[in-house]
Homo-oligomer: A and B are copies of this chain.
Amino acid sequence: MNLEDYVVEKTKKAKEISGEFSLISDSCRKDILNKIASELRNNSNYILLENQKDVSSAKEKGISKALLDRLKLNEERVFSISKSVEKVANLSSTLGNIVKMWKRPNGLMIGKMVVPLGVIAIIYEARPNVTVDAAALCIKSGNTIVLRGGSEAINSNKALVNVIHSAIEKAGFSKEIVQFFDVTDRKVVDELIKLYQYVDVLIPRGGPSLINYIIENSRIPVIQTGAGNCHIYVDKYADINKALKIVENAKVSRPSVCNAVETILVHNSVAEEFLEKLYEILKNEVELRGCEKTLEILPQIKPASNDDWTTEYLDYILAIKIVKDIENAIQHINTYGSKHSDAIITEDYPTIIKFLNEIDSAAVYVNASTRFTDGEEFGFGAEIGISTQKLHVRGPVGVEDLTTYKYIILGNGQVR
């Protein structure tokens, strides 16, 4: 079979079975997920053996330590993946709910019913846990799924999909609800993103080049996730101790993730006190880069260039800019930010209201770390990424966001 037919065939199967799958009860979906969770634990040896093949060839190719860490599984990680599947199984489901229903003057009753999106395709890179996490969220939300993972993790992914398939069959359903491409040719992606007749939504997960490529070329509607150039603004009326604790946490607790802070903006009138204290806290761990005014206070740090304002470091680097007022801070964030997560530290009520109203980001924080932008922390149980677009879903993409609705209209002979 040629590549095009191969991609069409698998994707078409996901579509064909999606109607039937959308109708099964939540207890059946729960059962499938619990079976996947237990099969993952039962087959951890097999999974780790296959993962070892990927790790060995990755080492031979000399990939970075960070990427290797994302790729590598161990027993503990497999157990934790299995645990998250159980957690997703137990989330509440809104499928089939009529979120509102109203009566029109002509007697028609119109209701809005929550239904699955249909078929969700995920294109992702090296992390094999995405295979399981994405499948679990899509199954819970009644969608069928088309997975296309990176070549570095192909053996791990195949093993995980085998385990998932056997679990689905043990639960009495067709394994065709989870489609996986075992060919890693890049052309699979190019074929897949054309198939709007079979795929309802496409979610790319990975670096900016993957995501941009897909947005540029996809014929299928995309949920864009990823880039987090997050800010914390330390206001004139900030509680300096809260500010220090929050900035440290937002930068240092996990710099490689999208909700870590990248630039802080500091009000002129508290800059000296705050920055000197911050420097003492971060100096051994974080590279600081400051604007001209910052360098007057901290001459020992590097100067920041214009590029620093737009960069998502994902590293132990922090840019610092001194601003003259809240307007300045808001303008900087709305201009250079990625509309992901931005925080203000202040005790002043009018300033808080202004910041909440005027910052155009998915998550706008008052006196808390930006690190909380996360499905788990928001109380959604799990997420498939953080959306930075405005259509359909903004912020953490949870199970409820993988649904849509249809109108049901009950009449008794009405005509127009």
Contact = CB atoms under 8 A, between A and B. Distances in A.
Nearest to A411: B368
Contacts of A406: 359-364, 394-395
Nearest to A372: B416
Contacts of A407: 362-364, 373, 378, 394-395
Interface residues of A, number: 68
When all copies of this chain in the complex are counted, the total is 2
Given A108-B372, A372-B414, A415-B246, A334 B19 contact: yes
A288 interface: no
Interface string A282-323: 000000000000000000000000000000000000000000
A118 to B, nearest CB: 6
A108 B343 CA distance: 13
A395 B409 CA distance: 12
Interface stretch (A68-76, A128-136, A215-223, A263-271): A215-223
Interface stretch (A38-46, A79-87, A385-393): A385-393
Nearest to A115: B360
A182 interface: no
Contacts of A23: 357-358
Query: At the interface, is chain A mostly helix, strand, loop or mixed?
Result: mixed
A409 B377 CA distance: 11
Contacts of A233: none
A392 B392 contact: yes
A268 B160 CA distance: 48
A403 B203 CA distance: 22
Interface in A325-372: 334, 356-369, 371-372
Task: From A357, A360, A389, A406, name the one whose CB has the most chain B CB atoms within 10 angstroms.
Answer: A406
A7 to B, nearest CB: 18
A242 B394 CA distance: 44
B253 A378 contact: no
A225 to B, nearest CB: 13
A415 B245 contact: yes
A216 B215 contact: no
Interface string A233-272: 0000001001001101110010000000000000000000
Contact of A221 (B221, B364, B394): B221
15 contacts: A19-B358, A23-B357, A23-B358, A118-B360, A196-B215, A245-B415, A359-B406, A360-B406, A362-B407, A366-B411, A367-B412, A368-B414, A371-B415, A372-B414, A394-B404
Interface of A: 19, 22-23, 102, 104, 108, 110, 113, 115, 117-118, 196, 200-201, 215-216, 219, 221-223, 239, 242, 245-246, 248-250, 253, 334, 356-369, 371-373, 377-379, 389-392, 394-395, 404-416
Give the 3 A-B CB pairs with smallest separation, nearest first: A368-B411, A249-B415, A392-B392
Given A372-B416, A394-B406, 13 more contacts: A19-B358, A22-B360, A23-B358, A108-B368, A118-B390, A200-B391, A216-B219, A249-B416, A362-B407, A364-B407, A365-B409, A371-B415, A395-B406
